[in-house]
């Protein structure tokens, strides 16, 4: 099925940046001709960075889909620092050439949202999960499975955008946020989830399946 996609091909977060870049490039071309070429290259970079294509979402309700485009940099058993539980952690690293829209990994209700200021170390490093600026949302599926999805700022990312709070209902693949200029998204899954993703694998938001949830979760928070 198609993911909910209320935005045009270019994400709304990039409209102002693109308008400024195009305007400056046109003015420079008008007055200085070919000297505007570097500015047009910057404009093309901004255009590709803020692209926001529609995606096909798997129909299986047990599927946990990638919340972001990028490369898998971690698959491990880990402590979920937000729900204080043992969990399976899958991390997606986004470089500046990936689509930076963030999508919900599951159908669920947002139970809580947390924001933490922090540093801006390389998002590909494991320590970025707890050291960097980050925004976390706790999602609960209809079957009672708990998933924590964490937007983590990167080395040059300076703005995490999240448009949902407690009580919001999200569907798999639905857009809920955006991170500007390189970053990471961590997903903490129930310990009995069947992880499909592998380190080094390239994934696409809303389309790639990271894991499969069991139909009867072993535990959940109240």
Which residues are catalytic, by number?
183
> Around Cβ 152, how many Cβ atoms within 10 Å?
29
Are the beta carbons of 152 and 136 closer than 8 angstroms?
no
Residue (of 213, 216, 218) closest to 62 by Cα position: 213
3-state DSSP assignment of residue 90:
strand
Are the beta carbons of 54 and 99 closer than 8 angstroms?
no
Are the beta carbons of 216 and 72 closer than 8 angstroms?
no
DSSP 128: H
């Amino acid at each position: 099925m198609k993911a909910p996609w209320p935005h045009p091909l270019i994400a709304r977060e990039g409209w102002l940046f693109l308008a400024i870049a195009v305007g400056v490039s046109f003015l420079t071309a008008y007055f200085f001709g070919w000297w505007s070429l570097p500015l047009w290259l910057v404009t093309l970079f901004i255009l590709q960075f803020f692209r926001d294509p529609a995606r096909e979402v798997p129909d299986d309700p047990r599927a946990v889909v990638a919340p972001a485009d990028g490369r898998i940099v971690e698959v491990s058993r880990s402590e979920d620092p937000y729900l204080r539980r043992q969990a399976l952690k899958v991390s997606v690293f986004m470089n500046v050439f990936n689509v930076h829209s963030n999508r919900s990994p599951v159908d669920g209700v947002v139970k809580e949202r947390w924001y933490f200021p922090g540093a801006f170390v390389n998002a590909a490093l494991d320590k970025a999960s707890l050291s960097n600026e980050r925004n976390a949302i706790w999602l609960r599926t209809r079957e009672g499975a708990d998933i924590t999805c964490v937007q983590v700022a990167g080395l040059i990312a300076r703005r995490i955008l999240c448009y949902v709070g407690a009580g919001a209902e999200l569907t798999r693949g639905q857009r809920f946020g955006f991170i500007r200029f390189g970053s990471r998204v961590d997903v903490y899954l129930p310990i009995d989830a069947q992880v499909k993703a592998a380190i080094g694998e390239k994934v696409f938001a809303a389309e790639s399946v990271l894991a499969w949830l069991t139909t009867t979760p072993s535990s959940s928070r109240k």
